[in-house]
């Protein structure tokens, strides 16, 4: 499931603002913001990718007092798979 999401980034790097390269060992590297412009759509796809394809991300905004910030809301019918994927991605899961 995750590969299908990764393939969208690989097939449309300009749309998502990502840079795609290959390491000398043959690994495919997708840069979505270090040396690439990235963007909200890239972040949305990377969020879904990091959940192993077992979750959906929705872009939106959250308001705190008079400040409005971009946000991502996630949902899944497979929390164990999605949580395992996000923990391997380095995200901390809070209770």
d(CA 36, CA 58): 22
- Cβ–Cβ contacts within 10 Å for residue 10, how many? 14
d(CA 27, CA 30): 10
Q: Which residues contact 18 (CB under 8 A, 6 or more apart)?
A: 9, 30, 31, 32, 36, 38, 42
- Please tell me the predicted confidence (pLDDT) of residue 89: 53
Confidence of residue 90 (pLDDT cuts 50, 70, 90): low
Confidence of residue 85 (pLDDT cuts 50, 70, 90): low
**pTM of the complete model beyond 0.85:** no
For residue range 25-83, what is the model confidence (pLDDT) as tens digits?
999 999 999 999 999 999 999 999 988 899 999 999 999 999 999 999 999 998 888 87
């Amino acid at each position: 499931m995750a590969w299908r999401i990764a393939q969208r980034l690989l097939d449309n790097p300009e749309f998502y603002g990502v840079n795609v390269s290959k390491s000398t060992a043959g690994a495919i590297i997708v840069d979505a913001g270090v040396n690439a412009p990235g963007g909200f759509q890239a972040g949305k796809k990377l969020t879904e990718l990091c959940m192993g394809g077992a979750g959906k991300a929705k872009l939106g905004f959250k308001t705190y007092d008079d400040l409005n910030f971009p946000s991502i809301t996630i949902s899944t019918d497979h929390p164990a798979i999605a949580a395992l994927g996000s923990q391997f991605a380095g995200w901390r899961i809070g209770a």
